[in-house]
Structure 1
Amino acid sequence: MRKGGPFLALAAAETLSLSGTRLSTIAIPWLVLSTTGSPVLTGLTAMMEMLPYVAAKALSGPLIDRVGPKRIAVVCDIASVAVVMLVPMLDWLDLLGMPLLLPVVFAMGVLRGPSDAAKQAMVPDIAELAAVPIERVTGLVGAIERLASTAGAAGAGALIGLIGSGQALAVNAITFAAAALIVGVGIPGLQRVPEPRGMPKPCGLPEARKGGMSSYLGDLREGWRFLRGDAVLVSIVIMVATTNLLDQAYHAVLLPVWTQSSGHGPELLGAMFSAFTGASIVGAAIAAAIGERMPRLTVYAVAFLLTGFPRFLVIALDAPLSLIFLTLTIAGFASGFLNPILSAVIFERIPKPLTGRVTAMNAALCFALIPFGGLLGGALISMIGLAAALSLTGLTYLAATLSPLALKSFRGFDKPITQS
């Protein structure tokens, strides 16, 4: 197999699955909002998907290390096809009410969590196979993620307007099926090989348990101990978890409610997502090209400042659409630098035998508050109104992006650590 083959396969699979996921993140909130008119129920539906997503992602790490990320990704994506198809089927039968929709989105989250964690765990091995710096691989993966999100968002608005929110989810099921096929055929097993006994343990790793028969909970504890002992990883988790909470409130409730209350349809919502993610492709591509030469902490801090607060402010002020799209474009461009830098820092600091469990734990903790973002957005709108809710979440976002810079331990962000 050519060196670039596994990377191209991962890129294609990510493009398909993320395009479908972006479609569902627009279609499902719009479905609930248009049928119930309730921001709170819209937030509850988002929570019902993200809560199991986070839990399943955190718990899947040891399984990924034991059986390999490829198998987990393929099995979960195949199962997702059947689950996601329930939405258009129930819609076609005129049975798609909240009592049936909520269990379906719960199951979607259960399956998406391990699948996403498994694909992420493949990155270090694929970088090694391709013999390129990990910043380049994470940058290219970031660009692909944003390309997929742009295509999914742009297509979602038009597709929802054409065939309805429920039926649009059939396309999501097709993308999961294609992703499973590509990963199954195009990526090697990438099984995690336990470190031989007697070899030095980096960063105070414990010796392997006798016979390699460690308990699943023991594996989870081992990943947690490593994660909490690294000050940089802890700082990243706190900052990203907070901003993810606010981003989820923005995407799942605040922006859809503003769009609807302003007299616009799902087409504009999709176009705004596309403006953000489309510009982020350019940022991620630049990060892929020069990522290893960038001053990580400086770029990270500036990018987060541009990505966050301005988006909330222009919507809160009900600015003209031209200014909103300009702000989203600048914010999207800046956001393209974030994940490549974050991923490179995280992968560099984790020993290879712990890749699955620590990356899954880290990602799950970063996503831990997302399930409550929709409820937060809905509750704030109900209590203080849309404009005040946007202003408050935007200011909180600004504080969250600045606070880690005051921590001395966070300076280690700029110091690469290569684990064996």
Structure 2
Amino acid sequence: MEPPATLWRHRDFLKLWSAETVSRFGSEVSNLALPFVAIAVLKVSAFEVALLGAVVFLPFLLFTLPAGVWIDRLARKPILVASDLVRAVALASVPIAYGLDALTMWQLYAVAFVVGIGTVCFDVSYQSYLPSLVGRDQLVDGNSKLELSRAASQTGGPGLAGALIGLLTAPVAVLVDAISFVVSALFLARIRVHEELPPLEDRRALRVELMEGLRYLLADRRIRALATSTVLFNFFGQITFSIYLVYAVRELGLGAGTIGILLAVGNLGGLAGAMLARRISSRLGVGPTIAVGGACSTALILVPLAPQSQPIPFLVASGLVMTFGVVLFNVTGISFQQEITPDRMLGRLNASRRFLVWGVIPLGALVGGALASTVGLRATLFVGAIGISFAVVPILLSPLRSLGPGQSASLSASSAQA
């Protein structure tokens, strides 16, 4: 059966999109609420807040590669549903413990770790699942719509989070995210597409299949450049983001509501990026579009440059440009990677990429926390902002830079291989 001409009429895609949209909005609440629990309720240090950000991404270092092999061997829909339900249970424990006056920082670390495991399994599965739902010629459109949801949640979510924290308290607001994961699981469970599993005889030793994904990533100069660029962005970006809330609250004197609105307005750039990604990619080509997205990371320098008397215009401008670039980079880069990768390799390649690009996030968070404790918050923000400006360099030095309109999959194998 031919897929619908528009994905808005594709029932199974709409279920995936609805699930992702609901859970993204919920996650934006806990992304703000969990650090606020640590800052305002448990009153911990900047390093401990940064450590919380590191713990949630630690599973990407520990479990991503074996998860990719596992996901390539099994049906992906049950993994998506189970990942949502596990995260829902973990997050629901926070308001329960708070109500019993038993909430501790150690519990927050445990919750962050379990949520991270669920996110590893969900994210690797969902990026590998999309090509089995839609045609490969619809991947840019599908990824654009999913990124539109992410951008919309990042725009509306922080404002909602700030309001809920003020109304319910931060620990109780986390319950909203738990409920969102349950709703997401219900949408995913109703997807009816049949998944083709590889024959049992095609399976090899775990170690062999683990290395296959990494070798595939490293052998293709285009995919390798995308991964290297994202590694730089995530490492230096996390140096900044791990202490951003502490900086906003303790040095700039901003409250949860103000920060929520600030993040919401800044994330309008992501909405624009999601809506324009397909048009820009068609006009400029894959390579230049990815390069433009990567170059937008230089706007992070506006965060430490923000004056204490009038910080909001600087923070909003940084957010607008950064989120526009991130979404443009992600939609185009991920669609390109899905387009040129065989289906049997998608899980392992996505896992290998996630291992590298998300695995550096806890390292960046730890470096950010350590630097903040020694040289101060603003100096640490400068380190992150200067470092992230180099994220576009791998793209400019790779064959990607010359991929004009219609050339994404037609680049010769000789120029793509290391």
| 1:314-393 map, 5 Å | 314-318=303-307, 319-393=310-384
Name the CA distance, whole Å, in 2 between partners of 1:417 and 1:172. 39
CA shift in 2, pair 1:377/1:237, >3 Å: same
Structure 1 290/264 Cα, relative in aligned 2: closer, same or farther at 3 Å?
closer
Q: Letter of the 1:297 partner, please give it.
A: G
What CA distance in whole angstroms lies between the structure 2 residues aligned with 1:177 and 1:412?
44
Select 1:152's aligned residue among 157, 164, 167: 157
Partners in 1 of 2:189 and 2:165 — Cα distance?
31
- RMSD between aligned alpha carbons? 2.3
1:132-191: CA deviations, max 9, x gaps?
A: 432222112111111122232221111112211111111111011011110110352434
Aligned to 1:199: none
Equivalent AA in structure 2 for residue 115 of structure 1: F
The aligned counterpart of 1:416 is 408
Gapped regions of structure 2 (runs ≥ 5): 5-9, 412-418
Q: CA, structure 1 residues 408+117, in 2 after alignment: closer, same or farther (shift >3 Å)?
A: closer
SS of structure 1 residue aligned to 2:287? helix
CA change 1:348–1:334 in 2 (3 A) is same
* 1:245 paired to 2:235: yes
1:12 aligns with 2:4: no
Offset at residue 333 of structure 1 (A): 2.7
Deviation at 1:119, TM superposition (A): 1.2
1:182 paired residue among 178, 183, 187: 187
Distance in 1 of aligned mates of 2:239 and 2:13: 33
Amino acid at match of 2:169: G
Task: From 149, 157, 171, give the equivalent of 2:176.
Answer: 171
The worse-fitting range, judged by mean Cα deviation, of 323-332 and 40-49 is: 323-332
- Establish whether residue 279 from structure 1 lines up as the match of residue 285 from structure 2: no
Query: Structure 1 stretches of 5 or more lacking a match?
Result: 195-209
Equivalent residue for 1:229, pick from 200, 215, 219: 219
The secondary structure found in structure 1 opposite 2:359 is coil
Asked if the contact 2:306/2:314 (under 8 Å) is kept, the reply is no
In 1, Cα distance between equivalents of 2:367 and 2:170: 24
Among 256, 263, 268, the alignment partner of 1:266 is 256
Which residue does the alignment assign to 1:143? 148
1:10/1:187 contact within 8 Å kept: no
Match of 1:47 in 2: 54
Provide the residue aligned with 1:204 in structure 2: none
**Aligned-pair CA distance for 1:407:** 2.2
**Whole-angstrom CA distance in 1 between matches of 2:102 and 2:348:** 39
- CA separation of 1:81/1:389 partners in 2, compared to 1, >3 Å: closer, same or farther? same
C-alpha separation between the residues in 2 aligned to 1:298 and 1:399? 16
> How far is the alpha carbon of 1:289 from its aligned partner?
4.5
Q: Please, which moves more after superposition, 66-75 or 98-107?
A: 98-107
2:384 is aligned with 1:398: no
The match for 1:218 is 208
Q: Write out aligned runs for 1:198-217 (5 A).
A: 211-217=201-207
Q: How many percent identity over aligned positions?
A: 25
Shift of 1:282: 1.6
Question: 2:88 is matched with which residue: 46, 61, 81?
Answer: 81
TM-score by length of 1: 0.88
Code of the residue aligned with 2:366 in structure 1: it is L
Structure 1 distance, partners of 2:395, 2:116, is: 33
Using the TM superposition, give the Cα deviation of residue 413 of structure 1 relative to its aligned residue in structure 2, in angstroms: 5.6
Match of 1:32 in 2: 38
Q: CA deviation at 1:299?
A: 2.3
- Contact kept in structure 1, 2:239 and 2:380, CA below 8 Å: no
Contact 1:139 1:285 in 2 (8 A): yes
Q: Which amino acid aligns with 1:13?
A: A
d(CA) in 1 for partners of 2:203, 2:293: 44
Measured against aligned partners, the alpha-carbon deviations of 1:336-390 in whole angstroms (never above 9, x if no partner) come to 3111111112112211111111112212211111112222222222222222211
Contact kept? 1:59, 1:220, Cα under 8 Å? yes
